[in-house]
Chains A and B, each alone.
Chain A
């Protein structure tokens, strides 16, 4: 029965993950000093969750988390960027699953792969998908939305590169190996 449907753990991970995404997005974004550019720690978290729980969880955390954040704090949902969040979660999950972070190994090979994946996925998401959707849905001027997409994309790639990598390594460390704990 568990095989063809989602496991309970994934469901809970989506729910709690979305809630954490909302709170990080609202309270833990750090202003950089450059106008309109903040360090969105929530994307580092999204990348971690996608890596641990896979593409479906990643995509849904992005989708539900971002839509809820917009809805409860700002009263309006900016669908184009919500879709990008879902895209980022989905595809990081798809590619990073093979890193097998549960094994507890986080060597340079894993870290490099993780970062190539996140940078490539986010580049497509923010540099291409976001502006295209902005124009299609909201008919905003193209040069404005491309610039917005590039700024957001660069800052998110760097954020995930730094904070996401720290989270990744730290998480791998918490996966204690079999037969490793004994009183001293």
Chain B
């Protein structure tokens, strides 16, 4: 049951050295650009750029292989679903229909549909490396500090930090509770009936939830005793100072965002249409 999750990977690289604020801003601009545009040229450019940054960051493919496989399977299924639900979506968008071959009824394969689905997939390929990189190159404690620096209220920023701090603990608790319930005779195997399965799940989530509620009490006491929240501002032990590279990166990032939005919207359509 040891499920892997993404976490900070310590390496010596230019990407790691950037301040968390920079990476967060770039990540957000990057996602905005990728979310808004359907312009294939922009997407291809962003994709190439994210591959380049990935190589610079010295993160190895095998470090993140387990999520990549998961994402690829998800994309495959999502593509199949899109086709099943809407085989003519591409034709509607681009306004032409170049049929490659027919299957049955409205299910045929058109270049437009393929191109539309290619674009959707490409969008994921643009966002995913950026998100992955952000997660594995930013130390979680710096993350909260960055949120605060970007104007998020420090208390809310700290709650993100608490969440990151306690995910492993709660995962461990979850396992222990599951185990001790099994020892008392609660079966968790998959071949039980649905009602039984729900009941059994309740036997585990109830203690987890209620011990977490108690934990909220203890932690807020501990934080209170050490003076959390007494001032309007607080400083952070693990922030990185801004350096030249940060300003430069932000500038380049902003330029890319502006240019890609301009290219996307200057003709009044989010989609790049090669068919007319």
Output the least CB separation between A121 and chain B (Å): 20
- Which residues on the A side are within 8 Å of B174 (C-beta)? 23, 27-28
Output the least CB separation between A18 and chain B (Å): 4
- Which residues on the A side are within 8 Å of B128 (C-beta)? 75-76
Known contacts being A27-B3, A75-B6, is A19 close to B86, with CB within 8 Å?
no
Known contacts being A8-B228, A73-B6, A75-B6, is A22 close to B163, with CB within 8 Å?
yes
- Which residues on the A side are within 8 Å of B206 (C-beta)? 166-167, 170
Q: Which one of A6, A41, A144 contacts B201 once the chains associate, using CB atoms below 8 Å?
A: A41
- Total A residues in contact with B, Cβ cutoff 8 Å: 59
CA distance A157 to B159 in the complex (A): 28
Q: Which of B205-233 contact A (CB under 8 A)?
A: 205-206, 208-210, 212-213, 215-217, 219-220, 223-224, 228-230
Q: Which one of A5, A27, A60, A72 contacts B7 once the chains associate, using CB atoms below 8 Å?
A: A72
Q: Which one of A11, A14, A162 contacts B198 once the chains associate, using CB atoms below 8 Å?
A: A162
Q: Which of B120, B156, B194, B217 has the most CB of A within 10 A?
A: B156
Q: Which one of B6, B163, B197, B205 contacts A15 once the chains associate, using CB atoms below 8 Å?
A: B163
A26 interface residue per 8 A CB criterion: yes
Q: How large is the interface on B (under 10, 10 to 19, 20 to 34, 35 or more residues)?
A: 35 or more
Q: Is there an interface contact between B216 and A9, defined as CB atoms closer than 8 Å?
A: yes
- Which residues on the A side are within 8 Å of B229 (C-beta)? 5, 8, 11
For the complex with contacts A8-B229, A44-B205, 15 further pairs of A-B residues with Cβ separation under 8 Å are A12-B159, A14-B163, A16-B163, A18-B160, A20-B170, A20-B209, A28-B204, A52-B213, A64-B159, A71-B135, A72-B7, A75-B67, A75-B132, A141-B89, A144-B86
**B interface, CB within 8 angstroms of A:** 3, 5-7, 31, 35, 38, 64, 67-68, 70-71, 74, 81-82, 85-86, 89, 120, 123-124, 127-128, 131-132, 135, 153, 155-156, 158-167, 169-171, 174, 190, 194, 197-198, 201-202, 204-206, 208-210, 212-213, 215-217, 219-220, 223-224, 228-230, 270
